[in-house]
Amino acid sequence: MNLNFSSIKKIKIEKPLLLDCGVTLNGFNLAYETYGKLNEKKNNAILVFHALSGDQFVTETNTVTNKDGWWNLAVGKDKSIDTNKYFVICANVIGGCMGSTGPKEIDPATGKPYGLNFPVITIKDMVSAQAHLLDYFGIRKTLAVLGGSMGGMQALQFCTLFPERTYASIPIACAASHSAQNIAFNELARQAIMADPEWDNGNYLISGKVPRKGLAIARMAGHISYLSEQGLQNKFGRKLQKQTDVKFTFDADFEVESYLKYQGYSFVDRFDANSYLYITRAMDYFDLYKQNNGNLSKAFDGSKIKYCIISFSTDWLYPTSESKKIVIALNSIGAEVSFVEIVSNNGHDSFLVDEPAFFNTLKGFIDSTYEEFKNEI
């Protein structure tokens, strides 16, 4: 795949950013995209946070890969998040690989890619960096912040760091901290990458190598966790590829095997292996309980934000029980919170596919919230 990075929009943040690890980034780049138009009152802005494998290209065409944006089904003209009406902003997270400062970018101190010299980051660091985008556009307060999976973590973290800067928050298919199972899946992925000789101790960009096999396996393992058992069974079952019987080899006999290989190796063409290490580590470190001495309610104490928590019935990576913990914490402090569990066979990826009930929930909440908020500013 030929990638065209010249089209990426970036802003240079000159202010130093103190990271959770204790290192200070003395200036950094933030790559972003916007959709729709910011109105005169600047009260129609929605800040979208992307997930692990996402980027700033939410909708329309990703000008780097020339493929559709990752949330084309939900965001755009006359869609659930209607860009005729709302101004949608999304940034590539720091540590990412679509233009924001991260391990594949050039370290000004050496003139070479950072690689593993890039400091370990957290969800808190990502959100602190992205808040600068609101300053850049002169937006005092967004209508809403939202995202799915890691994007939902960022939406939660934003509310704890900048409660005065958003009217509403929509965390989707996420949790307030990673479970042992989630950490284990991420560690499996990281070990697959680091076991690939082409990874070269993180220096593959300097040595001209590509850890294709390791990153592809990492993506395959992750992708399995994004789907439900029923979804996989409905889509593939035990169907063979273009043959009537097994071949008694270790080539891909089953359609599901071929599907996973395609998902894995197509991912390598657009994603950086070191970024995968850094971002999954940030997800594992995310823990709103620990940030608040074990009391999740304290994370939102005094918050006037309006919340809509959304989960999916067959999501076993971030099950509904995790969303309910967030709802209980919000209820305990008297926050205004709605909760919806969408019945779906599509597992964790339900927020990325065609789920009318989800789209209707998203649209209904955002549109009704805007009617309240537009009179406030």
Is position 287 annotated as part of the catalytic site? no
Which of 303, 315, 344, 350 is the catalytic position? 315
Distance between CA atoms of residues 1 and 77, nearest Å: 29
Is position 179 annotated as part of the catalytic site? no
Distance between CA atoms of residues 34 and 21, nearest Å: 30
Distance between CA atoms of residues 198 and 193, nearest Å: 9
Contact 299, 292 (CB under 8 A): yes
Which of 149, 228, 323, 350 is the catalytic position? 149
Distance between CA atoms of residues 82 and 231, nearest Å: 29
CB atoms within 10 A of CB 242: 6
C-alpha to C-alpha distances, 371 to 43, 166, 366, 367, 376, nearest whole angstrom: 11, 15, 9, 7, 10
Instruction: Tell me the two tokens of residue 149.
Output: 């999976």
Start-to-end Cα distance in the chain = 46
Contact 32, 56 (CB under 8 A): yes
> What are residue 257's phi and psi, to 5 degrees?
-65, -45
Is position 55 annotated as part of the catalytic site? no
Which of 177, 275, 311, 348 is the catalytic position? 348
Contact 292, 298 (CB under 8 A): yes
Contact 223, 53 (CB under 8 A): no
Write out the catalytic residue numbers: 149, 315, 348
